């Protein structure tokens, strides 16, 4: 009789749903919404913008969602889609707020939606990763470097690319570039988009220190370093600081530090000396600790 009881108990343990043993390390009070930057969509040729990061968060108990915004669409379109996403996540999750993590332009879109589109009561926290809060000297140079006809030609090519590959309905590369200038961000955007009481704002900045496997940001890194100092090949450390500045994402200098795409675990997870997955796990664990 005793043997049978033991066997029954063992069998019962084996058929307990796996959810009982699921990790809760990243199980925040509110769901997490990942917001991608500009120039790319949430899926590029079937590859996720946040390569393997959402899966890792989910496995650690996070209720995580991925916003899908136009790649080079107008800011009005990107922001409208983000607001729609927040409302959908609230409806699906049954929670009245979300935690937003925005990379690059995604962080600026989130700030605007919170401050100017009635989403302040729907957002518990905003974490920005290398967002150009104070503008970009590289954008200043791009705007001032080319004559008007050349600007239009380059913008037209980028718009056509975004329409064909990402399905953007109204791509506007020129307006996007102007928006990222230091003049626009500091004299127009920031005064009109203040932080809202009750929302927790925090930020991180990437620091590239040498040649990395993504290659595309190497020349930009050197130019940005001459213009603005430490940067990730796209956004300077100074520009990325907003709210509670949490510090630099450095990685190992021997492997080139952390580039703008290393921050989202690209190219395809090939990020020597840096683990984007571990970084985001730590970010979400910290949000949980803070009660978000």
How many CB atoms are closer than 10 A to CB 263? 26
The pLDDT confidence band at residue 254, using thresholds 50, 70 and 90, is confident
Residue from 180, 283, 187 nearest 235 by CA: 180
The reported pLDDT for the residue numbered 73 is 76
The reported pLDDT for the residue numbered 71 is 80
Place of tokens 């302040």: 120
Domain locations in the chain as residue ranges: 26-132+188-289
Report residue 268 as tokens: 């395809």
Contacts of 60 (CB under 8 A, 6+ apart): 23, 24, 25, 26, 27, 281, 284, 285
The reported pLDDT for the residue numbered 163 is 60
Residue from 265, 291, 289, 283 nearest 64 by CA: 283
Is the CB of residue 69 less than 8 Å from the CB of residue 35? yes
Of the two residues 167 and 1, the one the predictor is more confident about is: 167
Report residue 245 as tokens: 């500045």
The pLDDT confidence band at residue 151, using thresholds 50, 70 and 90, is low
- Cα angle 23, 24, 27 (rounded to 5 degrees) comes to 140
Comparing 40-49, 111-120, 223-232, 247-256, the range with the smallest average pLDDT is 40-49
Is 51's pLDDT higher than 90?
yes
Is the CB of residue 118 less than 8 Å from the CB of residue 188? no
Q: Pairing mode, if any, of strands 98-103 and 64-66?
A: unpaired
Is 10's pLDDT higher than 60?
no
The pLDDT confidence band at residue 146, using thresholds 50, 70 and 90, is low
The pLDDT confidence band at residue 272, using thresholds 50, 70 and 90, is very high
Of the two residues 102 and 219, the one the predictor is more confident about is: 102
| Phi-psi region at 135: left, alpha or beta (left = phi > 0; alpha = psi -120 to 50) | left
Of the two residues 159 and 19, the one the predictor is more confident about is: 159
- For CA atoms 12, 16, 20, 21, the dihedral sign is positive
Is 60's pLDDT higher than 50?
yes
Is 7's pLDDT higher than 90?
no
Instruction: Say how far apart CA 17 and CA 277 lie, in whole Å.
Output: 27
Is the CB of residue 33 less than 8 Å from the CB of residue 158? no
The residues with which 239 forms a beta bridge, in sequence order, are none
DSSP string, 201-222: EEEEEE-B-S--TT-TTHHHHH
Mean pLDDT across 78-102 = 97
The reported pLDDT for the residue numbered 159 is 62
Instruction: Say how far apart CA 167 and CA 49 lie, in whole Å.
Output: 16
pLDDT tens column, 157-173: 666 755 655 556 676 77
Pick the CATH number of 26-132+188-289 from 3.40.50.1370, 3.40.50.1820, 2.30.110.10, 3.40.50.300: 3.40.50.1820
Mean pLDDT across 250-277 = 92
The reported pLDDT for the residue numbered 19 is 39
Of the two residues 140 and 159, the one the predictor is more confident about is: 140
The reported pLDDT for the residue numbered 161 is 54
| Phi-psi region at 243: left, alpha or beta (left = phi > 0; alpha = psi -120 to 50) | left
pLDDT tens column, 181-240: 999 999 999 999 999 999 999 999 999 998 888 777 788 898 899 999 999 999 999 999
Number of H helices and number of E strands within the chain? 12, 8
Mean pLDDT across 45-51 = 90
The pLDDT confidence band at residue 46, using thresholds 50, 70 and 90, is confident
């Amino acid at each position: 009789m005793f043997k049978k009881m033991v066997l029954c108990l063992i069998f019962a343990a084996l058929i307990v749903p796996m959810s009982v043993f699921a990790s809760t390390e990243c199980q925040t009070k509110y769901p997490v919404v990942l917001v991608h930057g500009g120039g790319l969509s949430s899926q590029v040729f079937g590859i996720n913008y946040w390569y393997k990061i959402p899966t890792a968060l989910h496995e650690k108990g996070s209720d995580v969602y991925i916003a899908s915004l136009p790649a080079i669409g107008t800011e009005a379109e990107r922001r409208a889609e983000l607001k729609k996403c927040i409302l959908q996540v609230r409806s699906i999750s049954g929670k009245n707020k979300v935690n937003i993590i925005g990379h690059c332009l995604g962080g600026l879109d989130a700030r605007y939606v919170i401050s100017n589109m009635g989403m302040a009561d729907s957002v518990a926290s905003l974490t920005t990763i290398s967002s150009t809060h104070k503008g970009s000297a590289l954008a200043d140079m791009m705007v001032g470097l080319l004559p008007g006809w050349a600007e239009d030609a380059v913008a037209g090519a980028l718009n056509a690319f975004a329409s064909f590959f990402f399905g953007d309905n109204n791509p506007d590369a020129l307006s996007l570039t102007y928006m990222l200038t230091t003049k626009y961000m500091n004299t127009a955007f920031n005064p009109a988009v203040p932080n809202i009481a009750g929302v927790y704002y925090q930020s991180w900045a990437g620091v590239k220190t040498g040649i990395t496997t993504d290659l595309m940001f190497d020349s930009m890194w050197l130019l940005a370093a001459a213009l603005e100092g430490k940067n990730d090949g796209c956004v300077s450390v100074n520009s990325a600081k907003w709210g509670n500045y949490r510090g630099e994402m450095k990685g190992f200098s021997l492997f080139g530090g952390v580039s703008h795409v290393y921050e989202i675990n690209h190219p395809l997870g090939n990020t020597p000396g840096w683990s984007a997955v571990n970084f985001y796990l730590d970010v979400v664990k910290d949000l949980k600790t803070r009660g978000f």
